[in-house]
Chain A
Amino acid sequence: MKDSLVTPEMRQVRWRYRWTVIVAMSAYVLIVAAISGWLGGDPPKSGWGLYLMAIAPTLPIAVVAYAMARYLATEPDEFFRMVQVQTSGAATGLTMIACTAWGFLAVYAHVWEHHVIMLVFPMYWLFFGLAAPFVLWRYR
């Protein structure tokens, strides 16, 4: 939401949120590139090393989830905070609906069986981006 009035407190909270997300998502890309072998090297083929490596991208995702929760708790503009919470709720609901539909399609119709649940996070942000203008539009 673009606004001509941004208090120093709003600026600080939003700046912290944006940079936390940028740094975490950059780390995510680097970790995925590393474990996919795009950066070279010889990743472990079995054992705990393999498990740890496989779940490593979860760490930056957890950081982003924490940053989002912290942002929603500290955004000084209460209207903007409410809009963000409603958008997050809409995105969560849409993600659950899509994942449930996806799961049943996979089990009963054998559609997209080999796609994996790690796509839930990008799916949430896709729905967040789609829902945001509609939520804001309701308050015009």
Chain B
Amino acid sequence: MKNRLKLLRAERDWSQEELAKHLGVSRQSVNAIEVGKFDPSLPLAFKIARLFGASIEVVFDPGYPPGSAR
């Protein structure tokens, strides 16, 4: 799934490791999410969105518009 995690992280000048520390996950997790190869669970997605003070839709893009089930 596409996401703006790398951009949001860069805005705060955080390394992947620093973001991982904030989230309580491994750095590899952050990297895998950033490159779109791993979709986080709903609780982790909420945690990421809350950390950046945004909604999940702002951070993650499922690739289809609201109201559409793909």
Count B interface residues, CB 8 Å: 18
Whether, in the assembled complex, B54 has its beta carbon less than 8 Å from a beta carbon of chain A, the answer is no
B17 with A79: CB separation less than 8 A: no
A57 to chain B, nearest CB (A): 35
Asked if residues B37 and A78 are in contact (CB atoms below 8 Å), the reply is: no
A139 shortest CB reach to chain B, Å: 4
Q: State how many angstroms separate the Cβ of B1 from the closest Cβ of chain A.
A: 14
A125 within 8 A of B: no
A4/B27 in contact, CB under 8 A: yes
Interface size class of A (residues with CB under 8 A): 10 to 19
CB A11 to nearest CB in B, in angstroms, measures 12
In the docked arrangement, what's the CA distance between A64 and B17, Å? 32
Give 9 A-B pairs besides A138-B37, A140-B35 with Cβ atoms closer than 8 angstroms.
Answer: A5-B25, A5-B27, A6-B26, A10-B26, A78-B44, A79-B32, A82-B38, A136-B28, A140-B31
Q: Which residue of B lies closest to A76 (CB)?
A: B24
B20, B21, B25 — most chain A CB neighbours (10 Å): B25
| Residue from B27, B38, B41 in contact with A139 in the complex, judged by beta carbons closer than 8 Å | B38
| B43 CB to nearest A CB, Å | 9
B38 touches A5 (CB 8 A): no
- Smallest distance from the beta carbon of B32 to chain A beta carbons, Å? 4
Report the separation of the CA atoms of residues A140 and B34 in the bound assembly, to the nearest whole angstrom. 10
Determine whether the beta carbon of B21 is less than 8 Å from that of A79: no
Contacts of A139 in B (CB 8 A): 28, 31-32, 35, 37-38
Known: A78-B40, A138-B37. A1 touches B28 (CB 8 A): yes
State the Cβ distance, A45 to closest chain B Cβ, in Å. 53
A5 touches B20 (CB 8 A): yes
- Decide: A78 and B28 in contact? CB cutoff 8 A: no
Indicate if A3 sits at the interface (CB-CB under 8 A). Answer: yes
